[in-house]
Amino acid sequence: MKIVEQIKQPIAYEMDLFEQKFQLSMSSKVALLNRITHYIVNRKGKQMRPMFVFLVSKMVSNGEVSERTYRGASVIELIHTATLVHDDVVDDSNRRRGFFSVNALWKNKIAVLIGDYLLSKGLLLSIDNNDFDLLKIISIAVREMSEGELLQIEKARKLDITEDVYYEIIRQKTATLIAACCSLGAASVKPESEHVESMRKFGELIGMAFQIKDDLFDYGDTQIGKPTGIDIKEQKMTLPLIYVLNQSSKKDKNWLINSIKNHNKDIKRVKEVIAFVKNNGGLDYAIKKMKVFQEEALQILQTYPESDYRNSLELMVNYVIDRKK
């Protein structure tokens, strides 16, 4: 059995029902909108975020879920999808998960409006049902994701990024949404309990490990949907590179910064940078840090009684680290 199917097993019924509810939450009276949202729904990814919502919800409440849990999962997926549609516009990207992106097929103006529509759908789903605690969790995540992206853009211009700033960027950009999934799962069944904060922390730790793993793919040899060296070409400072920059002599540091600033489109030079980072311990250091986040996440899970849901979340934590793409 595939690992994702194994993780999904204890919540298979909830995920099927969620799919139906989610499709309903997308519907509109505008034919063009329905055509585009149908296109998006049929090209969904692994749906890790709703899986986090349901697994956490069932773990903290001995197998319970509520209508709020389904709404919370829908809100997360609507907001996440909105950010992906907007990201493709910002990055001028024509592909998403191997398919054409919304902006490639319907142009930027429509893609931006679709993103706005999905965002408002998500917010209204919470407001219409008085889920104000869930709305607060998701709104904080949206704010932080925007701040993280802007912080990364600002730092890419100067290339003056420290390890602490890098952690802050990935916490906001990536970890905050997974943290929101987990705290939302807990809040949907146990509002205002200590589980909400403990699961937020758990999700944040997984998100940190997830992003470091993603950054490591930039230095890999396998094709994983994005070509290697893409972060360097986009002047994104990731952990392997930051570590090596901080350990290098002044001469090597100048060569690295010059390569990233002025030769980031030169394929040969990018390969030289990748080789330099590998040979100077950048990947080993990033793997070590990723495993620290993984261990801390697993420790939080150990405070909960053993169950199928906890086992699935443990599998999820390990899958984040071991995945090949």
Rounded Cα gap, residues 229 and 161, in angstroms: 18
- Angle at Cα 101 formed by Cα 96 and Cα 102, nearest 5°? 145
Q: Which pTM value belongs to this model?
A: 0.89
Looking at domain 3-322, its CATH architecture is Orthogonal Bundle (1.10)
Residue 111 CB coordination number (10 Å) = 20
Give me the sign of the Cα torsion angle 186, 187, 188, 191.
positive
Residue appearing with tokens 């802007």: 150
| Tens digits of residue pLDDT in 81-99 | 888 887 777 777 777 666 7
Rounded Cα gap, residues 36 and 29, in angstroms: 13
Range in 26-40, 172-186, 197-211 the model is least confident about: 26-40
- The residues spanned by each domain of the chain are 3-322
- Return the CA Rg of the chain: 20
CB of 27 closer than 8 Å to CB of 34? yes
| Tens digits of residue pLDDT in 255-313 | 988 888 888 788 888 889 989 999 999 999 999 999 999 999 999 999 999 999 999 99
CB of 264 closer than 8 Å to CB of 252? no
Identify the burial level of 194 via C-beta atoms within 10 angstroms of its C-beta, where 0-12 means exposed, 13-18 middle and 19 or more buried: exposed
| Tens digits of residue pLDDT in 48-83 | 899 999 999 999 998 989 999 999 999 998 888 888
Q: Which residues contact residue 116 at a Cβ distance below 8 angstroms, ignoring those fewer than 6 apart?
A: 82
Structure tokens at 47: 């749906």
Q: Which residues contact residue 42 at a Cβ distance below 8 angstroms, ignoring those fewer than 6 apart?
A: none
Q: What is the mean pLDDT of the chain?
A: 87
DSSP string, 151-196: HHHHHHHHT---HHHHHHHHIIIIIHHHHHHHHHHHHHHSTTSHHH
